[in-house]
Amino acid sequence: MAIELRASKPGQALTPEVGADIARIVGIWESCRSRFAARGSLLFGPFPIADAMYAPVIWRFFPYDFSLPPVAQARVETLPAMREWQVGALAEPL
């Protein structure tokens, strides 16, 4: 499935099943942060492969205008690579 940063689909995919999947993912992130917060600002403290793996998941939330909890929003705001990815993706021709 492609990541559509330009798309705008507020609320379209928020079925009970999707809501449960989002809650499960956010629960994983919150668990990691509560256990490893003393080591740094990312899921396991310093930059781990888990943050790279979850980056596309975060971008998939945006077109649907899901309300991201702070633990998810921090992934976007604290990683310069995420901002670079966004700028590059939005600069690509359609």
User: What is 18-41 written as a DSSP string?
Assistant: HHHHHHHHHHHHHHHHHHHGGG-S
pLDDT band at 5; cut points 50, 70, 90: confident
pLDDT surpasses 60 at 1: no
Number of structural domains the chain divides into: 1
Which tens digits make up the pLDDT trace of 33-81? 889 888 887 788 777 788 778 877 877 777 777 777 777 666 666 678 7
Q: Would you say 59 and 5 are in contact if contact means Cβ atoms under 8 Å apart?
A: yes
The pLDDT score that the predictor gives to residue 36 is: 87
The residue range of the domain holding 22 is 16-91
- The rounded distance, in Å, linking the Cα atoms of 19 and 3 is 18
Question: Structure pTM?
Answer: 0.70
pLDDT band at 32; cut points 50, 70, 90: confident
Q: Say if 42 falls within a structural domain.
A: yes
User: Beta partners for 42?
Assistant: 45
Q: Say if 9 falls within a structural domain.
A: no
Average pLDDT over every residue of 26-33:
87
